[in-house]
Structure 1
Amino acid sequence: MENIYTITDKTANPGPLGLYGFAMTTILLNIHNAGFFPVNSMIMGMGVFFGGGAQFIAGAMEWKKGNNFGSIAFMAYGAFWLTLVFTWLAPGVLGAEKPDGNAMGCYLGMWGLFTLVNFLQTLKGHTVGKLLFGSLTLLFFLLAASNFADSEQILNVAGWVGIVCGFIAFYEASAIMINKTYEKNILPL
């Protein structure tokens, strides 16, 4: 028997929410990494609620739409922000031992490896996605190196790479929304 019913997906595209959550939190943290201000409650609040929470929600919505890449990326990077803030707060709140440079280098290096796998998947996609995941891969490996070497100079370079990476994500989110609103390709991807 032939299916006579068609289901049309009328749900919103969760991509811009996840991208903005990633972009704005990444930019703010990396302004810190570039040396402009210390880690503070503003960065932690953004990390928990927008970088962590909003991205995780966007990932769940991408899963519902059947977007494997978007679902895994947003949920994983949402979890990254939550684990990062937990790592900062746990020593003071729970009395847990603060991770040393080697431990943070391993943590950030694993995220770099995960991001490299995501970057390889973007090679079949649009240019902005390649730039975003390429710069994010570089960022994680620079952050790992700065922790292993205890180098403020490498951290500052990583900060500038992170600012650029965040603005690429901000551009992508904006392009998706603006192009959809005007029903034409105003901001190329």
Structure 2
Amino acid sequence: MSSAASDPEKGRVENIGNNGTSKTRASPDVEEYGPNSGDPVSYQRYPSHIANPGPMGLFSFASTTFILSLYNVGTRGISHSNVVVGMAIFAGGLTQFIAGMWEFPRGNVFGATAFASYGSFWMSYATIFIPASGIMAAYSDPQELNNAIGIFLIAWFMITVFFLLAVIRRNVAFTVLLSALSIALLLLAIAEWSGMALVQKTGGIFGIMTGLIAFYIGVSELLGAEPRAVARLPQGLLHT
């Protein structure tokens, strides 16, 4: 005879024998994370039937970053980035924030924190450029506004470095992604302070790289999720 004690937080089940010894095994309901899991830190998640929101969050982040970075390098002669405001609110902001909320019940702390944080970043960044917010109108000195935006970007550079510390040497793709994003944010902050167009373009180039890497990771996770989704379909549907 033996009894079983479950640890739902860690997703493990402990078998206790008559002699007092115990063996810990993974719960059969817990799915181990693979390379396309969306959680570069944890290797197990809570039992959950919630679909992986990672691709949705990554595509939203990638598309918004990619578009803004193209504007920063002056693609097609564009010097004003106001068109990205809509993307920043609804795609990079709202959609990515929702992806972060869905990561919480899956037990993915890194994904939930990162998606929710960068979703908030994009919504707050977009709010600066909405005339009705009155933020830009509050600065009579353009350089003061640039200095304020530079501090805003430096704060998010620091947050990105903290995220980088959590994944470095654990997940190569996320390490490269966050490294490129850190450099882009740092360069863009310096460009705001110095007014150097070359630095801004260089930051835009790293932003384009960031967007492309995020697209790659999103596609990888999406393709990795498809076989598992098909496996869960009722057998009758597979033959229709």
TM-score, with length taken from structure 1: 0.88
In the TM superposition, what whole-angstrom CA distance separates every residue of 1:112-150 from its partner, at most 9, and x where no partner exists?
Answer: 001001011111422111100010111110111101111
In the TM superposition, what whole-angstrom CA distance separates every residue of 1:5-61 from its partner, at most 9, and x where no partner exists?
Answer: x684111001111100100000000000111222133x1111111100111000000
Partner residue, 2:155: 110
Partner residue, 2:93: 52
Partner residue, 2:81: 39
Flag structure 1 segments of 5+ consecutive residues without an equivalent: 184-189
Partner residue, 1:126: 171
Cα distance in 2 for residues equivalent to 1:160 and 1:124: 25
Cα distance in 2 for residues equivalent to 1:2 and 1:140: 50
Largest Rg, 1 or 2 = 2
Flag structure 2 segments of 5+ consecutive residues without an equivalent: 7-28, 30-45, 229-240
Greater relative contact order (Cα 8 A, min sep 6): structure 1 or 2? 1
Cα distance in 1 for residues equivalent to 2:168 and 2:159: 15
The SS at the match of 1:39 is coil
Partner residue, 1:70: 111
* Structure number having the greater helix percentage: 1
For the pair 1:95 / 2:140, whether they are aligned, the reply is no
Matched-pair contact (CA < 8 Å) for 2:56–2:218: yes
The SS at the match of 2:48 is coil
Match of 1:15 among 47, 54, 60: 54
* Structure number having the greater strand percentage: 2
TM-score, with length taken from structure 2: 0.70
Superposition CA RMSD, Å: 2.0
Equivalent pairs: percent with the same residue?
A: 32
Within-5 A mapping of 1:1-12: 8-12=47-51
Q: Which one-letter code corresponds to 1:158 in the other structure?
A: G
Partner residue, 2:15: none
- Structure 1 stretches of 4+ moved >6 Å: none
